[in-house]
Amino acid sequence: MYKPTIKLWAKIFIGLIVIAGIFLGYRYQKKITYTNKETTTNNQSNNNQKSNNSENLLEQWASSASASSSYGIIEEEYWSEIKLVGKPDVLEYGDCENAWTPDEENKGEEWIELKYQTPVYTTAVNIYESYNPGTVNKLELTDEKGKYYTVWEGDDTTIGLNSLNIIFEKTNFKTNTVRITLDTKKIPGWNEIDAVVLIGTP
Ligand SMILES: [Ca+2]
Ligand SMILES: [Ca+2]
């Protein structure tokens, strides 16, 4: 009859320890993955705001919007000013109902006005253009009394699905209102904007 030697028992014992070790390691790794996933979800659920703690910079997406005109009527939502609210949701360059566009393709001067939850001293506004970009020519902000200040006037050279990132000297007033003027004659076709982010410190 075959009798396992002490040496064989020792090998089996070591083998079991290794298997247990691999199993525990796998469990621990799974736990770490899950924790990271949870953190990401929490960030996402903070719907229109993202805070950069090191500089106390707040990135806010519009909470409401109005416009000189809109292709979509509010009730139907498509291409209406409502489509400027929140994070970008146009995934590829082209005509998309998730963006705002005016009621005529090439009428000329149009404007959009975005409101944000928290007033901030701001240094930058990024305008996410999604179709026939390049028509933005002025950026204004209001102070807390509602007075308008022009912080940028210039030539929008945005191409494709991209954001026009406008950086300026930090305002000496807090704002929660961004007004953007466009010249839709400049670029033929429908000129569409997906979303606008306001960056600053509360
Ligand atoms: Ca146009
Ligand atoms: Ca949008």
Query: In this structure, are 144 and 87 located in the same domain?
Result: yes
Query: In this structure, are 82 and 148 located in the same domain?
Result: yes
Q: Residue 50 carries which side chain, given as an amino acid letter?
A: K
Query: In this structure, are 41 and 63 located in the same domain?
Result: no
Report every protein residue that has its C-beta within 5 angstroms of ion ligand 2: 83, 89, 98, 194-195
How much distance in Å is there from the Cα of 63 to the middle of ligand 2? Answer: 12
Query: In this structure, are 103 and 192 located in the same domain?
Result: yes
How does pLDDT run across 12-45, given as a tens digit for each residue? 666 676 666 555 554 444 333 333 333 323 333 3
How does pLDDT run across 108-158, given as a tens digit for each residue? 999 999 999 999 999 999 999 999 999 999 999 999 999 999 999 999 999
Q: What is the average pLDDT score of the chain?
A: 84
Strand 136-142 relative to strand 148-153, pairing:
antiparallel
Query: In this structure, are 41 and 65 located in the same domain?
Result: no
Query: In this structure, are 75 and 139 located in the same domain?
Result: yes
- Place 76 in a pLDDT band, splitting at 50, 70 and 90: confident
In this model, does residue 107 exceed pLDDT 80? yes
In the listed set 54, 69, 90, which residue is the last one of a domain according to the structure? 54
Query: In this structure, are 22 and 97 located in the same domain?
Result: no
Q: Is 9 helix (H, G, I), strand (E, B) or coil?
A: helix
How much distance in Å is there from the Cα of 79 to the middle of ligand 2? Answer: 9
Pair 99, 90: CB distance under 8 Å: yes
Q: If you ran DSSP here, which 8-state letter would residue 76 be given?
A: T
DSSP element (H, E) containing 27: helix 6-45
pLDDT of the residue at 5: 64
CATH number at residue 105: 2.60.120.260
Query: In this structure, are 119 and 152 located in the same domain?
Result: yes
Query: In this structure, are 126 and 103 located in the same domain?
Result: yes
Q: How many domains does the chain have?
A: 2
How much distance in Å is there from the Cα of 91 to the middle of ligand 1? Answer: 21
Query: In this structure, are 40 and 63 located in the same domain?
Result: no
pLDDT of the residue at 128: 98
Kindly state the percentage of the chain with pLDDT values over 70: 75
CA dihedral 164, 170, 171, 177 (to 10 degrees): 30
pTM of the model: 0.75
Query: What range defines the domain where residue 170 resides?
Result: 58-201
Q: Which residue has the tokens 């191409």?
A: 159
In this model, does residue 183 exceed pLDDT 80? yes
Pair 165, 95: CB distance under 8 Å: no
